[in-house]
Chains A and B, each alone.
Chain A
């Protein structure tokens, strides 16, 4: 089996939904993201990418949040059954 790179929030297409699996990267960044609601098992939705390709707009806990690509890469997604 070839180890595959896990899908992160940065790979999510606009309007797609996904579930957070876990966080990675700098602990301080992980902590901030978790506090904003990006905890494991959370449903999130990619709303759009800014016109210049970065940052991203996501929906979590019924509110909208903008994160840069760097931070989105810290959010690992659960492999969707669908």
Chain B
């Protein structure tokens, strides 16, 4: 690894560009053999994937860029492709060549982006991908003629099988250092004049600053509300005057009879029609294609909806039921490991640090992997066969009410299992603002970590009554908590929608690709890749949090405390070692730093109806909600083993009293606790993954703070209203 990095400094760099789903990642994998490094481009949420191509004596560094239909960019995320192509990013070396991956089954639209790239002044190679599917559909493309018309090499490939790999690499090698392609479209005089005028204007105002290329100037003029304009103007001292100049030039273009917004597409598609006219043949389909017949069924008003519900149910249940045994297995494994360390090292600081801090922490990272990997595999399956786009098509109307789009449905549904893969699944949402809102509300869905919390309190305090003759009250409360999470998420989405006004309305544009057989290789690869990314990015954060919380719960440990407890127990005539151990553990915990903080903040949680023990257990569960149950277990001298099924813990909770003898727990208190845990963001993994996916601590902090405040206020209202009613 180290040697690769050392040499990669001097290697030529190429980048893969193309429409979404054109096969860029498949080409990347074909070229590099699956080995890649992922990071984030600073300042944006876009993932930076790079790898090394090795072929005979050749070595190249290759970048896999996000999919784009056009170089027109209206957000920093979209702009990354344009910036890298033009060498405008400080964190990425200028490219030596561009490779445009185009989908042969959709030649004209894919050539739109290609025609833009050809003008960027870089040696370019076109990888004509999916030639196998094109052939099957009776689409014939004469790639030599296409190459001649475009003036750049066109290499037919099948990225999924590796066909054409060598030819592609050789073409890239030959292109590097070679001629720049010449543009294939001519611009009207009005545009050329405006570009010159703008160039002169900037030069006049800038003095010696680096010149802006005509290509960038044209992007700036033609892209309504574009990122290029923002970039040029932002760094300019006279930005206002320049902005006025730009709109003046746009007006001029309009007067000359062209609409600046549509001009580029009109010109390019006209050129493209000429270019493909001699080299593209389609057997005209007289009857609906297989894909259209499938659509008739899958988007049918009734049958389609039923199938949708069935598919989503199966997906959701699979995550739950397949992940559960694996998660239990991981927990058991780490439990056994901890037991082994204990038996090898005995009690004491080191052993406890290793078992409760380190092993427990690593276990709490890895325990998420089954859910993440299964869910990502299922979503990739749905996406790859084409169904995910249909699901978005069906659900868009519903989610739009909350300012979201159809693509938000699956991530939000996934969040009922676990918000971590749910947040990771938002990568399928193209609109950045919609994606952000979805990320922020996903943790409000009642994930599986809330179940133990609800279970213990419902079982201990909600009477086993039947209401309305057939509805079990406990079940109703449970369902109510799920519903409550959904309502809270809907409200939060509406609030975020009005707070986070987008700079420009991003139109909802959803390609509905033809259905196809999913690629098992891709599914497995994506699932492992996302698992790896999670461990790398969230692992350290969760581990650090676990160790800090462990230390706060463990220290200080004055020895006389234990002696005193043992003496008290002896006096009370209690001799069972387990009871004594648990009493000692409880006393240490109550006396720990966390316990002291818990007591200190009791005034803050009293308005919620909580005593300091609940407050402290809540603090201890900041890295993971479900920890509140086992912490309560230790506080009540039951040892760390008490879980949500523990009758002993239920009895302790039922009989817990304030110093004045009143019962701690009643219905308003229990509801206040459950509402708090429904709304809070007590999950280190979620916080870490939000940081990773938005590439900023800011949004992680926003999510954590808004949920914590919401949780506190929600619990406060429930308790205060509750005690007044009851």
Interface residues of A (CB under 8 A from B): 22-23, 26-37, 39-40, 42, 47-48, 50-55, 57, 61-68, 70-71
Contacts and interface: CB of A to CB of B under 8 A. Distances in A.
Nearest to A57: B512
A66 B400 CA distance: 14
Contacts of A57: 295, 299, 393, 512
A70 to B, nearest CB: 8
A39 B262 contact: yes
Contacts of A48: 295, 299
A23 B258 CA distance: 12
B173 interface: no
Given A47-B295, A65-B511, A31 B269 contact: no
Contacts of B504: 26, 28
11 contacts: A27-B261, A28-B74, A31-B262, A35-B70, A36-B109, A48-B295, A51-B300, A52-B397, A55-B397, A57-B295, A62-B108
A33 B397 contact: no
Interface in B409-452: none
Contact of B509 (A32, A47, A61): A32
Nearest to A35: B70
B508 A34 contact: no
Nearest to A65: B511
B513 to A, nearest CB: 8
Interface residues of B, number: 48
Interface in B371-402: 389, 392-394, 396-398, 400
B507 interface: yes
Report whether over half of chain A's contact residues are helix, strand or loop; otherwise say mixed. mixed
Contacts of B264: 31, 34-35
Contacts, number: 137
A34 B266 contact: yes
A55 B389 CA distance: 12
B299 A71 contact: no
B621 interface: no
B259 interface: yes
Interface class of chain B by DSSP: helix
B266 A53 contact: no
B262 A34 contact: yes
B262 A23 contact: yes
Contacts of B224: 26-28, 30-31
A50 B69 contact: no
A78 to B, nearest CB: 15
B301 interface: yes
A82 B468 CA distance: 62
A61 B393 CA distance: 20
Nearest to B389: A66
B509 A71 contact: yes
Contacts of B510: 55, 65-67
Contacts of B106: 61-63
Nearest to A60: B109
B109 A32 contact: no
B260 interface: yes
A31 B109 contact: no
B259 A30 contact: yes
Given A50-B299, A63-B511, A34 B397 contact: no
A30 B514 CA distance: 25
B216 interface: no
Contact of A63 (B109, B222, B266, B269): B109
A51 B109 contact: no
Contacts of A35: 69-70, 72, 112, 264-265
A50 B397 contact: yes
Contacts of A40: 262, 266
B173 to A, nearest CB: 32
